[in-house]
Amino acid sequence: MAVAAAELLTVDEHFTALPLAVCAVAALVLPLRRRLPAATLCATLPAMLAGYLWLPPMVAMFQVASGGSRRRTATACVLLFAAASCPWPVEDLPAMTRQEVLTYVEAGVLMSMGPTALGLLARTRLELRARLADLTATREREQRLEAERAVTRERARLAREMHDTVAHHVGIIAVQSGALRAAETADAWKRDTAESIRRHSVQALEELRDMVGVLRASDPGAARTAGRTGLDGLRDLADDSLLDVTVEVEAPAAEPSAEVECAVFRIVQESLNNVRKHAPGAPVSVRVAPAPDGAALTVEVRNAPPPGPAGGPRPVHPPQPRPEPAPGPCAGSGDVLPGGGYGLVGLRERAALLGGSLSAGRCPDGGFAVRAVLPL
């Protein structure tokens, strides 16, 4: 637009009424070329026909070719060629030589075909860029679908492996423990132990069947709640743990989601399992209560030092960062035991997925505490 306006300096000495009118119209309508390209071209053609301004019609022609249809572009190109190749005044045409006529025709071809070709090139580049963006999006979508299909195949493979290996052995344990329970024996402890083994084996098979169903159905969200876990099952879990467990559950005002209840159950389950392995016989306290602000649920599992000599087995846990201070005698100890297990690592990941946190460490009295805060 600045160059087209500067072209006025080349014809300022010819400004009479007609040149001034056509040049003013051509300069004033040029800013409308993006919104009204065809109208802008028609308004600038008189300036080219009179031989005063050439750039405004060429700029308008470029805009028509870069955004208009093929038919509109061809029509505009013909009009621009006619205006550029027609001499002014028209009455001088019979007196012109052949060289002058050919010069006008050549100038008309260059002034019409040049901006038209550039406009078509610009439109082709835009179309290619849009098509390339579509191809890129399609390729990314196909890669994502292929990754999802690979995950589905892997989940199906894991489901087959779990069903064919774990279910077989656990099923044998359940059958043999049931047979042992039905056998005639005067030892009540043996009968109760066999019944406990049978019950846990059957429950393990049920949970395994749930997990296999989740893997087969390719439903990641259902995996969080599979296994019939919840706050109401904590007391039964404590009774079946073969430990001296005290359970205190304070229901929050807002009912927690199934994912939060499942996380609480798994945290308590894994903590009791660690106590049973590394501190057998130690009393355990389990407390589940809402946070003071009511926006989170606090889970704390704490065991006393194991009975026996001071050099006895101690809880072994994977390396953990120093936990945040928690209320109680274990606050600020930050003593996390080394080890190579994945129990607490999985619990910390489970809590992080829900937006919560989990800390674990030794207590000053020699015991161990696991504390988690899960948002409701």
Would you place residue 322 in the very low, low, confident or very high pLDDT band (cuts 50, 70, 90)?
Answer: very low
Q: What is the pLDDT of residue 136?
A: 93
Higher-pLDDT residue of 225 and 245 is 245
Collapse the DSSP code of 331 into the 3-class scheme (helix H, G, I; strand E, B; otherwise coil) and give the result: coil
- Choose between 198 and 183: higher pLDDT: 198
Residue 134's Cβ-count burial label (10 Å; 0-12, 13-18, 19+) is: exposed
Local confidence band at 219 (pLDDT 50, 70, 90 cut-offs): low
Neighbouring residues of 375: CB distance < 8 A, sequence distance ≥ 6: 260, 295, 296, 297, 354, 355, 356
- Residue-wise pLDDT tens digits, 85-123: 887 776 777 777 888 878 888 888 888 888 999 999 999
Q: Which two tokens stand for residue 345?
A: 């690592």
What is the rounded average pLDDT of the residues 54-80?
87
How far apart CA 39 and CA 100 sit, in angstroms, is: 31
Confidence at residue 228, expressed as pLDDT on a 0 to 100 scale: 54
Residue type, 152: T
Which of 282, 294, 292, 299 minimizes the C-alpha distance to 366? 282
Which pLDDT does position 45 carry in this prediction? 85
300 phi and psi angles, rounded to 5 deg: -135, 125
Q: Is 287 helix (H, G, I), strand (E, B) or coil?
A: strand
pLDDT band at residue 20 under the 50/70/90 scheme:
confident
Q: Residue 44 pLDDT > 50, yes or no?
A: yes
Instruction: Please provide the distance, in angstroms rounded to a whole number, between the alpha carbons at the two ends of the chain.
Output: 62
**361 or 339, greater pLDDT:** 361
Confidence at residue 340, expressed as pLDDT on a 0 to 100 scale = 45
How many helices (H) and strands (E) the chain has is answered by 11, 5
Does pLDDT of 325 surpass 50? no
pLDDT at 376 over 90: no
Mean pLDDT of 160-175: 74
Residue 319 has pLDDT above 50, yes or no: no
pTM above 0.75, yes or no: no
Q: Determine the pLDDT at residue 138.
A: 93
Q: Is 196 helix (H, G, I), strand (E, B) or coil?
A: helix
pLDDT reported for residue 328: 45
More confident residue, 186 or 150: 150
Q: Under a CB-based contact definition with an 8 Å cutoff, are residues 49 and 83 in contact?
A: yes
Distance CA 280, CA 258 (A): 31
The pLDDT of residue 43 is above 60 = yes
- Mean model confidence pLDDT for the chain: 78
Name which of 279, 274, 289 is nearest 365 in CA terms. Answer: 279
Q: Point out which residues pair with 297 in neighbouring strands.
A: 290, 374
Which one is predicted more confidently, 217 or 68? Answer: 68
Q: How confident is the model at residue 330 (pLDDT cuts 50, 70, 90)?
A: low
Cis amide linkage into residue 89, ω under 30° from 0: yes
pLDDT top residue among 88 and 42:
42
Q: What are phi and psi of 288, to 5 degrees?
A: -125, 120
Between 329 and 136, residue with greater pLDDT:
136
Model pLDDT, residue 346:
82
Per the document, the length of the chain is: 376
Q: What is the pLDDT of residue 323?
A: 39
> By three-state DSSP, how is residue 301 classified?
strand
User: Quick one: pLDDT at residue 125?
Assistant: 92
* Position 184 confidence tier, pLDDT thresholds 50, 70, 90: low
So what's the pLDDT on residue 11? 67
Burial 14-40 (b: 16+ CB within 10 A, else e): eeeeebeebbebbbebbeebeeebbeb
- Residues 289-312 have a mean pLDDT of 79
pLDDT at 27 over 50: yes
Asked if 64 and 30 count as a contact pair (C-beta separation under 8 A), the reply is no
Give the lowest-confidence range in 41-50, 93-102, 334-343. 334-343
Crossing angle, helix 70-85 and helix 98-161, to 10 degrees?
A: 160
Q: Which residue has the tokens 């809880």?
A: 315
Query: Could you give the angle at the alpha carbon of 220 between the alpha carbons of 210 and 288, nearest 5°?
Result: 75
Average pLDDT over residues 180-201: 75
Give the span between the Cα atoms of 113 and 119, in whole angstroms: 10
Indicate if the pLDDT at residue 3 is higher than 90: no
Question: What pLDDT, in 10s, does the model give residues 253-262?
Answer: 778 888 888 8
Pairing of strands 368-375, 296-303: antiparallel
Asked if pLDDT for residue 167 goes beyond 60, the answer is: yes
